[in-house]
Structure 1
Amino acid sequence: MQTLLKEIRHNPLLWLLVVVPIVLVAEKAVPEAHTFLFVLAVLAIVPLAALLSHATEAVAAKTGDAVGGLLNATLGNLTELIIAVTALHAGQHMLVKASIAGAIVTNALFMLGACLLLGGLRYHVQEYNRAGGRLYSALLLMATVALLAPSAVADLDLAHGAVLTQKLSTGLAALLIIAYGLGLVFSLHTHKEFFASDEHGEAEAHWPIGLAVGMLLVVTVLVALVSEIFVESVQKAAETFGMSPAFVGFIIVSIVGAAAEMAVAFSAARRNRLDMSVSIALGSASQIALFVAPVLVLLSYVVGPTPMNLQFWPGAVTMVMISAVMATFITNSGRSAWFIGVLLVFVYAIFAMTLYVIPPAAQGPG
């Protein structure tokens, strides 16, 4: 417990934990104050995501490289997964799909771009292992192709088109999960020497394993409770702020869910550990595309009122494709400067402005 208290004292992000009991009490006291609850839920999710990140790293550090890498990959986006499952249970498929596409684009453009910018402001030129960037970018491109297929089938206007789209989405979900597993085997076992970093920083102190496992369980429950409040209030709050559910999912949910990862990635970039920053940004983006998205499709058969498919609105697929292509070009050289980061952040800003001004048209079920 002393370790946890010390961490809270030295990490300003964790000071927001005080909001967690406030939002839980407020939900019982003023359930109709949707905008107020929405803001509190957003503020509460940020420190909970940070605690999840710390606990995951501590557990992974005790289990060896292969299992640790698998744990980091599987639990790294647990916050986004819990929020999406909660929205899935409520039948808000647009919010779920927007959060999936938004998480991919936010990690591949905003997080990566900000890392390159922050590191470039301190160092004239930075270098990193481009093998990891190439792998993650290739996985992203493949996942984007999978997202294009259901939309193409839907546009054909076939008889029983919705049924065919759902069947195709389920099959694609299984293929993406298999590709994700094979990617882990490739990077963590058969060819792990390609992804070794030349950076040798100080060994980081991790929480004791008992504390880490306990925090994983407790914080997961708290994230689930706060996510339920978030999803219940998001519709009314979005109307109050003049935002569409797609914008909330694409921008707000993705940034809030990745806040803890961003803090670590930004800090690593400022310490010239760009290998870590690129790995966090693009690794998280590829994990969302190949693991979180297909898992949500399969879970929708169990937790949702209706099954969800992988048919995204055309703008979302376009943004994901552009993000994957840009990440491929950017990471191909293995070198970076601050202006490259600026370009990525500006492309992300263009997407955000476009989605705010021109929300996607409503889609049918799924």
Structure 2
Amino acid sequence: MTNKIFMVMTFSGVPLSIIGTLMNWSNILLFFLYCITIIALASYMGRATESLAIVAGPRIGGLLNATFGNAVELIISIFSLKAGLVGVVLASLTGSVLGNLLLVAGLSFFVGGLKYKRQEFNIYDARHNSGLLMFAVMIAFVIPEVFSMNLTKSKTLTLSIGISVILIFLYLAALFFKLVTHRGVYQHERETEEREEPEWGKEKAIAILAIATSIVAYISEHLVHTFEFVASTFGWTELFIGIIIVAIVGNAAEHASAVLMAYKNKMDIAVEIAIGSTLQVAMFVLPVLVLISLFFEKSMPLIFSWQELVAMASSVLLMVVISNDGESNWFEGLTLIAAYVIMGIGFFLS
């Protein structure tokens, strides 16, 4: 039933989005139409991810979902940078970190925990990811802010470029570690599960992911142009739009996929999507955007506001404490969601 609803939303939303763009419909109407269409397309990305995870394993499936999902955010951010909306980009990436760690993981733990009293996931991956999260946010994000106080703009940008290159290198090294040199070394021991049949074959699933991402990219380009009008109409700040609205829409694929996996008690995939996507944003997407911004009129240094840094650091610490035992339940999920709501209220009022 749910798949049929998303199918109707997709096959009506995509043509309506194109028609509305060509006919210059109201920016408010287009904003909500674009958001709904992107969320509907995310359901296809989620189903494709599940098929890939069955065929290739939870790590590859989760990584592909995070990559295609973050491709949407990367595309939105590039168009935003081109438009000179550096603040929106930094805010949306902050929102992505908060959204994945608190909202996506929180909803996954909560929904899965309502069905199962206790759910397990790979404790070794959780600890490995915890170290990378601490490094990315507590070191790579805080250091530029601290040193930029005594640096000129050009030197701050140089520092940001250096840190970005290091982050990209370390992220690629982490993938090599998990998927090549130490693949299977830290295997999660659990009872043998029944062999599932994927809904789609590998080639079809990858094709659907690629097509859905391409359509989302087109819609996202036009979504960016509605931000300023929507902000002025509803009285939303640039910070709130970036951290809450753009992040939720951009991460719709991860939201849908992770919660679905948790409901089916596939916590390794759910956690890989939520935390793996966060790491990809912090250690790859953001550094790449810093380098890409050098080709635009307005460059983007790796400098966040203190509110953004404190929010991200708090989210990382909370996730590390909750996930390091390799288990989850509905109450831990509710705790993460509550933290997200509190931060959302703060950013809305700021």
TM-score, normalised on structure 1? 0.86
C-alpha distance in 2 between matches for 1:357 and 1:347:
16
Instruction: Name the residue aligned to 2:40.
Output: 47
Deviation string, structure 1 residues 338-365 (Cα, Å, up to 9, x no partner): 221111111110100000001xxxxxxx
When residues 34 and 311 of structure 1 are mapped into structure 2, their CA distance, relative to the original with a 3 A threshold, is same
When residues 67 and 311 of structure 1 are mapped into structure 2, their CA distance, relative to the original with a 3 A threshold, is same
Instruction: Name the residue aligned to 1:14.
Output: 7
1:137 touches 1:328 (CA, 8 Å); kept in 2?
yes
2:58 touches 2:269 (CA, 8 Å); kept in 1?
no
C-alpha distance in 2 between matches for 1:60 and 1:305:
41
Q: Percent identity among equivalent residues?
A: 36
1:56 touches 1:75 (CA, 8 Å); kept in 2?
no
Alignment of 1:81-230 (within 5 A): 81-144=74-137, 145-156=139-150, 158=151, 161-193=152-184, 194-196=186-188, 198=190, 200-208=193-201, 211-212=204-205, 214-230=207-223
Work out which of the residue numbers 318, 329, 339 in structure 1 matches 2:321: 329
When residues 10 and 339 of structure 1 are mapped into structure 2, their CA distance, relative to the original with a 3 A threshold, is closer
Secondary structure of the residue aligned to 1:328 is helix
When residues 79 and 53 of structure 1 are mapped into structure 2, their CA distance, relative to the original with a 3 A threshold, is farther
When residues 209 and 278 of structure 1 are mapped into structure 2, their CA distance, relative to the original with a 3 A threshold, is closer
Secondary structure of the residue aligned to 1:192 is coil
Work out which of the residue numbers 336, 341, 349 in structure 2 matches 1:349: 341
TM-score, normalised on structure 2? 0.89
2:43 touches 2:257 (CA, 8 Å); kept in 1?
no
Shift of 1:232: 0.5
C-alpha distance in 1 between matches for 2:2 and 2:340:
33
C-alpha distance in 2 between matches for 1:241 and 1:259:
22
Shift of 1:50: 3.4
2:65 touches 2:253 (CA, 8 Å); kept in 1?
no
Shift of 1:150: 1.7
Instruction: Name the residue aligned to 1:4.
Output: none
Work out which of the residue numbers 274, 287, 310 in structure 1 matches 2:280: 287
Query: What is the alpha-carbon root mean square deviation over aligned residues?
Result: 2.5
Q: Does 1:28 align with 2:17?
A: no
Q: What are structure 2's unaligned runs of at least 5 residues?
A: none
Shift of 1:242: 1.8
Shift of 1:258: 2.0
2:109 touches 2:333 (CA, 8 Å); kept in 1?
yes
Work out which of the residue numbers 298, 307, 316 in structure 1 matches 2:299: 307
1:80 touches 1:257 (CA, 8 Å); kept in 2?
yes
Secondary structure of the residue aligned to 2:225 is helix
Shift of 1:164: 1.0
Letter of the aligned partner of 2:154 in structure 1? Answer: V
Alignment of 1:47-66 (within 5 A): 47-55=40-48
C-alpha distance in 2 between matches for 1:23 and 1:89:
22
2:54 touches 2:198 (CA, 8 Å); kept in 1?
no
Instruction: Name the residue aligned to 1:3.
Output: none
Letter of the aligned partner of 2:178 in structure 1? Answer: S
